[in-house]
């Protein structure tokens, strides 16, 4: 179990009571696991740097589920970004997709479907993208793109 962790110039330096000090370099990012709020923050800051760069030919627009709207983004994205010196107004625009709910009104959950077969009463193409693509073919990508485009309009 780690006892202490410190940021250092080239990585994170940690102390394990059994093995002593060790350093994990930032350039080997595959050794780090980021939870959802931290991944959200990292993406937003990286995308904002692209958006502020005049040489970038595009601007990032993020699309995410509406369950991440409101207080979540305020407390888990905009506030931490501000504390790190980034203006919320420079972060990419976030478009919230409609929330898909199950029969009980709860958010349709990928993990429930996969782990507990909770949605076995639904056709598999409703909860499994591969099955959706197999049923409707490659045209599905254009249909999904056009649907999301309607949200923007």
The full set of domain ranges for the chain reads 1-32, 33-99, 101-153
Q: What is the pLDDT, as a whole number, of residue 55?
A: 92
Taking the alpha carbons at both ends of the chain, their separation in whole angstroms is 51
| CB of 6 closer than 8 Å to CB of 20 | no
Average pLDDT of every residue of the chain: 82
pLDDT single digits (tens) 65-77: 888 888 888 898 9
Query: Residues of the chain with pLDDT > 90: what percent?
Result: 24
| H or E stretch covering 80 | helix 79-83
Any idea how long the chain is? Answer: 153
CA distance 47 to 127: 29
CA distance 128 to 139: 16
Query: What is this structure's pTM?
Result: 0.63
pLDDT single digits (tens) 10-69: 678 888 899 899 888 877 667 778 888 888 998 999 999 999 999 989 899 888 888 888
Cβ–Cβ contacts within 10 Å for residue 6, how many? 10
Average pLDDT over residues 76-80: 91
Query: Residues of the chain with pLDDT > 70: what percent?
Result: 86
Q: Has residue 86 got a pLDDT over 70?
A: yes
Q: Work out the pLDDT band at 1, boundaries 50, 70, 90.
A: very low
Q: Measuring CA to CA, which residue among 82, 71, 45, 75 is closest to residue 60?
A: 45
Q: What is the pLDDT, as a whole number, of residue 123?
A: 86
Q: Which residues contact 147 (CB under 8 A, 6 or more apart)?
A: none
């Amino acid at each position: 179990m780690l006892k202490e962790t410190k940021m250092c110039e080239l990585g994170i330096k940690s102390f394990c009571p059994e093995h002593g000090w060790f350093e994990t370099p930032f350039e080997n990012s595959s050794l780090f696991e980021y939870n959802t709020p931290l991944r959200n923050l990292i993406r937003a800051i990286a995308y904002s740097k692209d958006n502020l760069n005049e040489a970038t030919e595009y601007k990032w627009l993020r699309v995410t589920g509406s369950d991440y709207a409101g207080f979540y983004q305020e407390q888990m994205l905009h506030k931490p970004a501000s504390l790190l010196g980034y203006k919320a107004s420079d972060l990419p625009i976030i478009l919230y997709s409609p929330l898909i709910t199950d029969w009980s009104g709860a958010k349709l959950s990928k993990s429930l479907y996969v782990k507990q077969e909770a949605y076995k009463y639904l056709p598999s193409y409703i909860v499994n993208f591969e099955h959706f693509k197999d049923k409707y073919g490659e045209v599905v990508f254009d249909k999904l793109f056009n649907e999301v485009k309607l949200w923007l309009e």
